[in-house]
Amino acid sequence: MLKCSGLSKSFEKELFSDLDLELEPGEILAITGPSGCGKTTLLRCICGLDKPDTGTVFLNDQNIGSQDTEMRGIGMIFQQPVLFPHLSVEGNLRLGDKNGDIESALKEVGLENFEQRNVTSLSGGEGQRVALARALLAKPKVLLLDEPFSSLDEDLAMKLVSDVRSILKQRGCPAILVTHNRIVAEKFADSVISM
Amino acid sequence: MPEMNIRLSNSCALLAYTLLVILPLWLALDRLIWVAGANPLDWYLSLEQNYVSQGVIQFTFIQALTSTLATLAIGLPIAWQLGRYKWPFQSLTKAILTMPFVMPSIVAAMGFLHIVGRAGLNIRVDDSTWFTTLIIAHAWFNMALVIRFCEPVISTLDPRLEEQMRLLPAGSSKTGRFRHLWAPLLAPSIAAAACMTFVFSFTSFALVRWITLGDNTLESVMAGIGSSAGIEGYMISRNEIVLGSSMIQFTILLLSLFLMSWLQQKRQSLLPQVSEEVVKQSNPKGWTVIGPALAFALSPLIAVFWASFRIRNTDSSGTHYTWETSGWEFAFSSSNSMTSAWDALYNSLGYATLTLIIALPLGWILAQTILDVEKDKPRFARFLDVLTMLPFAISSVMIGLGVMLGMIRIDAEFFYSFWPTPALAHVMITTPFVVRIMLPALRAIDPEYDECGRTLGISKWRRFFQIKLPLLRGSILVAVIFTLAMSLGEFGASWVVTRNSDWTTLPIMIDSLRSIPYNNSLTAPAACAVSSVLMGITLVLFTWAEKFRPSRDGGMF
Amino acid sequence: MKIFTFLVGVLILNLTISGCITDKIDDNEAKQPDEYEWVDDGELVIVTYDVYGLTDEMLENFENESGYEISLLKLDDAGSVLDHLLQHKGQQVADIAIGLDNTYLQTAIDNNVLWEHNAILQNISESALLPYDGPLAAPFDQGYICLNYDSDIVDGVNYTVPESLWELTEEVWNGKVAIPSPETSSPGRAFMTATTDYFSTDSDNETEWTDWWSAMSLNDVIITTGWSEAYETRYTGGYGEWTDGYVGDAHIVVSYCHSPGVESWYNGNWTKSAALDIPKASFHQVEYAAALEGGNLDSASAFIEYLLSPEVNSKMPIENSMYSALEGYDLPEENGYLFHSVVPSEPAVVSSTTIANNMEEWLEMWNKAMVDA
């Protein structure tokens, strides 16, 4: 459902050129590579935060290359959980969907009764779960994940990896993960590409 | 398409800023140079060649330098005590000691006048006593700077550094520790505080006007002769004096700005800091410093309030004082020769609000513009940055002269009765402060917040109101309160402008009341009454600001 | 790029505007009365310094009688009033100027900022009309400027009463003489004018009046911006010691020859201040009310008539501490007012033409004398 062809981008040096990528519905893809090779930039080009030099991005056979990020319907999880400190957990979740079912969203990520918690008191893992719940409430067509597990310690990371995978599979939400960790990549995704 | 809108609003802001702020100054300078000729050497020399300005440069520098030294001498022990030791009511103490900085200068002038004048200690009789009073008054104002800059550095130093120093031969003595640890640590902060104190003392007006007996700083000389300036073929020397004074001031202030920004970089900690939860001991001996300091900080304000009720009655049997409210009644009554304090109050509040409505959005957009441009065109961004700081380098009297001469040239009769005229000067003075407050705050916002909002599908306006605004809440509040306080207490520019306008403000009314000659025993208490009102409003604003101040590094705000 | 172009455009705009304004300045001529552009807006804006005589009561009376609404623009001294008039040439914001005296008036006239009023004046005393009797300004009070001394302190023991101005340059008077500046104050300017006559007609042919001022400067004479600072704040012989800002370091001050009379009046027939009647060291001053170009000529003229009406003007000695401008009214005898007031035997004689021709140069010479000392 997501089809990128001929993407290239350079920032002083060439990051990637003539890159093709396809994502089937419900598929989870992982992209690995060393730091600085342009994985994050690729994700940003897909969701619209950056513009590729050449190439097209098609979502459900529609060219979204000229659309603003807000309109594309592609969600993103960042490396650090980007939670807004002036809002509670519930407040953050409502940013994803004003009228969403907060309770079940939290239940889905295993954080029941966390509604009124102060986001600054959450651990790294808890924060990423909230970020995930929020992104999912926005009902994205594709979910992009930019190394969200790399800042967590290994056991936590692995638990989170399998939990997130099963949530995504349950929802049938296609996703692309970017990581430098091959083990995480293989555990999380159906297929792995390296850059 | 949205990019075009951003560009449009940025350009509009720049245009508005240029028109509002730069144009009056340009007009004034153009006019002055047209009358006096464009020879800076003549301007400089005219200061010593004219009786009215003779000795002024010297006096200005000497009093500014002495004030700086006095401020450091008074402020450093206080900052030390506050930073090193635990104090009950820590935040209240600190607030009281830093509060003088936001007090309107005319209120402080009234306060000190009453302490040293006839109704008080009666020592304002010769040069040395009033000079000392002036210096002490400047120290009163500016010790807050020393505290604000130095105390956070002292209180957040990682204690292990000091412990380590104690164990080394170089740090085994107090002087050794001072030389190797405290001096290098604090030097940039002290230098910054000294620099700013110098600037504020250098451009002092209200205090010089009321505490000295006719002595002048460059600022007060400009105010005094400003009304003669800009007239074709008339008192050309006065135009030269104004140009010379503003040129000197501009140079000094510009140098100070550069020095400050250089020091700002140095102050990015040399040594590791920890949070303030470092355990501090209490120091009972420190009360010998903090106690008098608190009394010192509060005394002029108490003096003003107290003096507003004290009416002098003089008759053939001598002078005695009674306690009445007639000073207050007199102040709030109106007559042909005197506006009522109610009018002055409405005007001041109105001007403050108007200034806020213009300066806040304007300053914000300018700050945002600088940020937007920074990525692609850093040199242009630097240019804009300096442009917004321009009013800093121009003293308030000069700004007032700029507005006055500019308005007279455009349409004197219109601007005379145009209510917002004095507020223009306020906008010129406060906009740079807004930029200075908002720029670092905007910079500190992680761009990921906005990007994340975008990936969640939140529209631009919703992102602004739901994400950006709440994150900036603290800084916005500080900017709001600061702008209001500055407008309410503004004296130098308003003094010049209200002479050519039909309106008055609270500080100007205080000055006018006190200037009324002859034996009216109600004018001084009335001036104190109005000062008390102004003081009260400032205190309220200040307490709000203290609550919401984001506790970042020891900046001025 | 767009922003940059905008900015450049703005700068060009600024340049054009400022070019326009500078041109307009040259065109800022005083309004000519034959065009009679004035409008009766029911208001009277008075530009003045703190003239005591303009009491609330007196102003309210006028408002009630004439129906005009008064607003006061209060400046510091006669100099600021003149400055204001010149600043607003061609676009005056006030309707009438009160407080220019015969040493300031000519400059205002030369710059065409005054208009002929249409008030009908009757019974003006000859002395008041002596310096100027034209239609552009009406005298409303007068007096003689001279030195006053504190007779309690200047009692012949430590200080002797000076008999010539040169005595004031002696060591004993160092820092004890206060004179308002001729650049800003009208009594100050009047006194300076007197010294031009004093020193040109004294027996010493070698010294000029500027030499005396230089000597005074060396002797730490206190120069203040205005009369009230000199008299109230600095002078020990007057009512100043009962005011809040009092300092009291001068025992001789430039004031009016009738100031001791005023003191006596308010003290209930007692004063320690005395006037110094040294020949040629006093000057006859007349103060004027003048209608301004482009202002409300009707209300200005009405006010001038009111100011010169017997009911108001006869009270000048009491309300304003000055002689009346009308014929036949002298200082009151009660409380020793008349008794303690001195009429100088030989005031300085300086014609209005001389003043008109030389004032600018005199001020420059004065400035130079004070600076070069």
Q: For a pLDDT cut of 70, what percent of chain C falls above it? A: 90
In this predicted structure, the answer to whether residue B37 has a pLDDT above a threshold of 70 is: yes
Residue A32, classed as helix, strand or coil, is strand
How does pLDDT run across B496-525, given as a tens digit for each residue? 999 888 899 999 999 999 888 877 888 899
What Rg do the C-alpha atoms of chain C give, in angstroms? 23
The domain made up of B39-307 has a fold known as: MetI-like fold (1.10.3720)
Angle at A139 between CA A138 and CA A141, to 5 degrees: 125
pLDDT band at residue C218 under the 50/70/90 scheme:
very high
Q: B178 falls in which pLDDT band (50, 70, 90)? A: confident
- Alpha carbons B137 and B303: distance in angstroms, whole number: 14
Contact B432, B388 (CB under 8 A): yes
The C-alpha atoms of residue B209 and residue B510 are separated, in whole angstroms, by 13
**Residue recorded with tokens 């006669």:** C78
Torsion of the alpha carbons at C294, C296, C298 and C299, rounded to the nearest 10: -140
Contact B451 A84 (CB under 8 A): no
Non-local CB neighbours of C113 within 8 Å, separated by 6+ positions: C30, C85, C86, C88, C89, C92, C292, C293
CA-CA-CA-CA dihedral for B378, B381, B382, B383, to nearest 10:
130
C interface mutation test: which of B21, B51, B208, B380 has the most C CBs within 10 A? B51
Q: Tell me which of C363 and B259 has the higher pLDDT.
A: C363
The CA distance from B363 to B348, in Å, is: 21
Chains C and A touch (3+ CB pairs under 8 A): no
**Structural tokens at position C170:** 């002696």
Does residue C266 share a domain with residue C172? yes
Helix residue ranges, H only, B235-321 = 236-266, 287-307
- How many whole angstroms separate alpha carbon B370 and alpha carbon B385? 7
CA-based nearest residue to C87, from B411, B240, B231:
B231
Residue B292 pLDDT = 92
Mean of all residue pLDDT scores within chain A: 88
CA–CA distance, B395 with C259 (Å, rounded to integer) = 41
For residue B360, give both structure tokens. 């806040």
How high is the pLDDT of residue A10? Answer: 86
Backbone angles phi, psi at C366, to 5 degrees: -60, -50
pLDDT reported for residue B543 = 86
DSSP reduced 3-state for B322: strand
CATH assignment at residue C175: 3.40.190.10
Kindly report, residue by residue over C318-333, the tens digit of the pLDDT.
999 999 999 999 999 9
Q: Which two tokens stand for residue B166?
A: 């104690």
Q: CB–CB of B349/B538 below 8 Å?
A: no
Name the pLDDT band for C271 (thresholds 50, 70, 90): very high
| Residue C32, pLDDT above cutoff 80 | no
Question: In angstroms, what separates the C-alpha of A78 from chain B's closest C-alpha?
Answer: 8
For residues A128 and A89, the answer to whether their CB atoms sit within 8 Å is no
Residue pairs between chains A and B whose CB atoms are closer than 8 Å: 52
Say if residues C253 and C179 touch (Cβ distance below 8 Å): yes
Task: With a cut of 70, say whether residue C4 has pLDDT above it.
Answer: no
**Rg from Cα positions in chain B:** 25
**Residue C219 and residue C295 in one domain:** no
Closest approach of C247 to chain B, Cα-based (Å): 5
Residues with Cβ within 8 Å of B315's Cβ and at least 6 positions away in sequence, in order, are none
Q: Using one digit for the tens of pLDDT, what is the confidence trace for B99-115? A: 998 899 999 999 999 89
What whole-number distance in Å separates Cα of residue B412 and Cα of residue C87?
A: 9
- Residue B268: pLDDT above 80? no
Q: How many domains does chain C have?
A: 2
Chains contacting B with at least 3 CB pairs below 8 Å?
A: A, C
B369, closest residue in chain C (CA to CA): C3
Provide the percentage of residues in chain B whose pLDDT is more than 70: 94
Domain ranges within chain A, ordered by starting residue: 2-194
Whether B205 contacts B223, CB under 8 Å: yes
Residues in chain A with CB shorter than 8 Å from the CB of B467 are 84, 95
H/E stretch holding C358 reads helix C352-372
Same domain, C177 and C222: yes
Alpha carbon distance A80, A78 (integer Å): 5
Q: How far is CA C218 from CA B55, C168, C174, C222, in A?
A: 14, 11, 9, 11
Report the distance separating Cα A163 and Cα A159, nearest Å. Answer: 6
- Kindly report, residue by residue over C221-253, the tens digit of the pLDDT: 999 999 999 999 999 998 888 887 788 899 999
Structure tokens at C274: 């005395």
- Asked if pLDDT for residue C172 goes beyond 90, the answer is yes
Q: Is residue C35 part of a domain?
A: yes
Residues C100 and C288: beta-carbon distance below 8 Å: yes
Q: Is the pLDDT of residue B557 over 70?
A: no
- pLDDT interval class at B480 (50, 70, 90): very high
Q: Tell me: pLDDT of C19 over 60.
A: no
The whole-angstrom distance between B429's CA and the closest CA on chain C is 20
C144 phi, psi to nearest 5 deg: -110, 130
Identity of the residue in C2, C14, C80 whose CB atom sits nearest the CB atom of B11? C2
Q: How confident is the model at residue B554 (pLDDT cuts 50, 70, 90)?
A: very low
Q: Per-residue pLDDT tens for B209-250?
A: 999 888 899 999 999 998 888 888 888 899 999 999 999 999
Interatomic CA distance for residues B400 and B420, integer angstroms: 14
pLDDT given at position C5: 61
Helix (H, G, I), strand (E, B) or coil at B306: helix
In a domain, C109, yes or no: yes
CB contact under 8 A, A69 and B451: yes
Whole-number pLDDT of residue B176: 81
Question: Has residue C6 been placed in a domain?
Answer: no
pLDDT of B276 over the 60 cut? no
pLDDT tens-digit series, residues C82-128 = 999 999 988 899 999 999 999 999 999 999 999 999 999 989 999 99
pLDDT band at C27 (very low <50, low <70, confident <90, very high): very low
Q: Give the tokens for residue B471.
A: 């994150």
Q: What chains are in contact with A, requiring at least 3 Cβ pairs below 8 Å?
A: B
User: What CA–CA distance (Å, rounded) separates C238 from C234?
Assistant: 9
pLDDT for the residue A13? 82
* Nearest residue to B297 (alpha-carbon basis) of B102, B461, B500: B102
Mean pLDDT of C179-206: 90
Q: What percent of chain A has pLDDT over 70?
A: 100
**Residues of chain A positioned with their CB less than 8 A from the CB of B1:** none
Whether C91 sits inside 8 A of B413 (CB atoms) is yes
Contact between C348 and C282 (Cβ < 8 Å)? yes
The distance of Cα B96 from the centroid of its chain, to the nearest Å, equals 17
- pTM exceeds 0.80, yes or no: yes
Q: Residue B418 burial (CB < 10 Å; 0-12/13-18/19+)?
A: middle
Whether residues C83 and B373 touch (CB distance < 8 A) is answered with no
Query: What average pLDDT is seen over chain B?
Result: 86
Q: B381-386: long-range contacts (C-beta < 8 A, 24 or more apart)?
A: B384/B14, B385/B439
Mean pLDDT value across chain C = 88
The number of CA neighbours under 13 Å toward the Cβ of A37 is 11
The amino acid sitting at B27 is L
Q: What are phi and psi of B294, to 5 degrees?
A: -65, -45
Helix (H, G, I), strand (E, B) or coil at B45: helix
pLDDT of residue C307: 95
Residue-range domain boundaries for chain B:
39-307
Contact C319, C53 (CB under 8 A): yes
Q: How many CB atoms lie within 10 A of CB B180?
A: 14
* C200 and C295 housed in the same domain: no
Contacts of B523 in chain C (CB under 8 A): 244
Give the model confidence (pLDDT) of C137-149 as tens digits: 999 999 999 999 9
A2-194: which CATH architecture? 3-Layer(aba) Sandwich (3.40)
Q: Which runs of consecutive H residues, i.e. helices, occur in B99-232?
A: 105-116, 127-155, 159-167, 174-177, 183-202, 206-211, 218-225
What digits encode the pLDDT tens for the residues C35-54? Answer: 666 678 888 999 999 888 88
H-assigned helices in C122-166: 126-129
pLDDT in tens, B433-476: 899 889 888 988 888 898 999 988 888 888 888 889 988 988 89
Query: Hey, is B504 helix, strand or coil?
Result: coil
Three-state DSSP state, A3: strand
DSSP C297-314: HHHHHHHHHHHTSHHHHT
* Yes or no, beta carbons of B470 and A86 under 8 Å apart: yes
pLDDT tens, position by position, A101-144: 889 889 888 888 888 888 888 988 899 999 999 999 988 999 99
| pLDDT: which is higher, C191 or B545 | C191
A88 to chain B: which residues are within 8 Å by CB? none
* Same domain assignment for residues C54 and C66: yes
pLDDT given at position C17: 53
Strand pairing report for C252-256 and C273-276: unpaired
User: Is C247 close to B125, i.e. CB distance below 8 A?
Assistant: yes
Digit-coded pLDDT (tens) for B486-502: 999 999 999 999 988 88
The pLDDT, as a whole number, for residue C302 is 94
Residue type, C194: A
Identify the closest residue of chain A to B472 by CA–CA distance. A86
Measured between CB atoms, does B466 come within 8 Å of chain A? yes
Predicted pLDDT at B414: 87
Other CB atoms within 10 Å distance of the CB of residue A94: 17
Predicted local confidence at residue C25, as pLDDT: 44
Structural domain span for residue C35: 25-142+286-324
Q: How far is Cα B343 from Cα A90, in angstroms, rounded to an integer?
A: 49
Cα–Cα distance for residue pair B62/B77, rounded to 1 Å: 23
Q: State residue B189's pLDDT score.
A: 87
- Of the partner residues C25, C54, C232, the one whose CB lies closest to the CB of residue B517: C232
| Closest Cβ opposite residue B227 in set C83, C222, C370 | C83
Q: Under a CB-based contact definition with an 8 Å cutoff, are residues B109 and B209 in contact?
A: yes
Enter the tokens of residue C229: 């600072």
H or E stretch including A58? strand A54-59
Interface of C with B in 128-157 (CB under 8 A): none
pLDDT value, residue B266: 67
Residue B303 has, within 13 A of its CA and on its CB side, a CA count of 21
Question: Chain A residues with CB inside 8 Å of B466's CB?
Answer: 95
pLDDT in tens, A63-72: 888 888 888 8
Q: Show the beta-strand stretches assigned E in C191-296.
A: 222-224, 252-256, 273-276, 283-292
- What pLDDT is attached to residue B279? 64
Which one has a higher pLDDT value, B490 or B544? B490
Distance CA C113, CA C131 (A): 19
pLDDT at C8: 65
Same domain, C91 and C154: no
Query: From CA C149, how far away is CA C275, in angstroms rounded?
Result: 6
